[in-house]
Chain A
Amino acid sequence: MRSLIDILDLTTEEINDLVAVASDIIQNPAAYAHKCDGKILATLFFEPSTRTRLSFESAMLSLGGQTLGFSEASSSSASKGESVADTVRTVSCYSDIIAMRHPKEGAPLVAAMHATVPVINAGDGGHNHPTQTLTDLLTIHHEKGRFDGLTVGLCGDLKFGRTVHSLINALSRYEDIRIVLISPEELKLPSYVKKDVLQKNNIPYLQTTDLEAVMPELDILYMTRVQRERFFNEEDYLRLKDSYILTPEKLANAKADLSILHPLPRVNEISVAVDQDPRAAYFRQARYGRFIRMALIMKLLGIQ
């Protein structure tokens, strides 16, 4: 039995296979409409995340399966003090696969250690969010047709932004990748990610606070939201939340084939005026999230 807790649990070949299956699903959804008939996905969301939960549920329903679960801790036994281990032992009796989001880092790993069905980490605090990374990779593959030879700009909260850390980890395994890190000083990429991932894999990277200066170099611009829930101090959040707001004017010098990604939800870091720009890929990205999760559910359930 296999779970997915960290994007590094998957080999590059496995990621490429998932991208290939997801691409085939996009082309031929009817062929996959009954792949999970009779199977049940439990969505255990100990903190609200409408988008991720719905994309998991949509994925399972699109495969012919069914879903059950809860969307916040207050409607689960966690509110009575039940441990994650006990919750997943019980839910394993009622489902074939679990997708779990939890505000505490490492909770999905604890779940995977005690569940008797596969567990998918649907986000654990500021730690890992592997299915977002798979979504990002599928988006990049569809937008660019390749993973190699890209200059990828990551902008916003690079300190607490788990999607950024996971994406850097995943991209570091491809050839000729260049990373541009754009953030305020206070939200810079943690040094251990730079050391353990970028430097260790000899990935060239540039660190800057100036988005417009590096805009012409970018093939991908990955915008992130400064997340209120990651701050202990409201003052720090308010001071940093508007550090980067992407507008059509700031895109003036961007490449014609730039792809703008964002894990969503956005607050104001991308102006709605950018939505009309064909380079804005973030809503296409949300759509890809459903297909890559379909491919992942099938893989973890051992369904060809």
Chain B
Amino acid sequence: MIIDAIKNGIVIDHIAAGKCMELYQILGLGDLDCSVAILKNVTSRKLGRKDIIKIDRNLELDWDVIGYVDPNITVNIIRDGEQVEKRQLKMPETITNVLHCRNPRCITSVEQELPQVFKLTDRANRVYRCLYCETKAGK
């Protein structure tokens, strides 16, 4: 299957197969008024199978969010048909207002104006916990 190359925009590549919709939702890509192509289950030499998202516009993305979803993702910035930047991501130490604590006993369940902060507590296993109640983030 062929998807046209984009001239100015962003290619989010090496997304673990099956993860692209989570990223699509979490980045709010459904709210954009430009073309967004989602390629699922693409053959990859590196990963075997992968997902790709192509956005037909250059915009500021939340790198921390992408790094949280999958730190192995690479982001390519395209200008005038040329790749001008290739960004490797890393897991952020904290992530704010992306996830919601599911613990009904957490203070955030009653004080909803509090920022929802999760901190990285186990890098090897990619575990984030709520700053307040330390409940593990469910992905």
- B136 lies within 8 A of A105 (CB): no
Q: Which of B22-30, B38-46, B101-109 contacts A (4 or more CB under 8 A)?
A: B101-109
A247 to B66, CA, bound (A): 57
Contact of B133 among A83, A84, A106, A196 (CB under 8 A): A106
The interface bits of chain B over 111-139 (1 if a CB of A lies within 8 angstroms of the residue's CB, else 0) are 10110000000100000001111111000
- B132 lies within 8 A of A109 (CB): yes
A106 to B131, CA, bound (A): 8
Given the known A-B contacts A104-B105, A104-B109, are A109 and B136 also in contact in the complex, defined by CB atoms under 8 Å? no
Count of chain A residues near B, Cβ 8 A: 17
Which one of B107, B109, B133 has the highest number of Cβ atoms from chain A below 10 Å of its Cβ?
Answer: B107
The interface bits of chain B over 93-106 (1 if a CB of A lies within 8 angstroms of the residue's CB, else 0) are 00000000001011
A188 on interface, CB distance cutoff 8 Å: no
Q: Closest B-chain residue to A103, C-beta based? A: B105
Contact of A110 among B122, B132, B134 (CB under 8 A): B132
- A106 lies within 8 A of B132 (CB): yes
- A104 lies within 8 A of B131 (CB): no
A107 on interface, CB distance cutoff 8 Å: yes
B110 on interface, CB distance cutoff 8 Å: yes
List 10 tightest A-B contacts by C-beta distance, closest first. A106-B132, A105-B133, A104-B107, A106-B107, A107-B107, A106-B133, A125-B105, A105-B105, A105-B106, A83-B111
4 extra A-B contacts, CB within 8 A, seeds A107-B132, A110-B114, A124-B107:
A84-B111, A102-B107, A104-B105, A110-B132
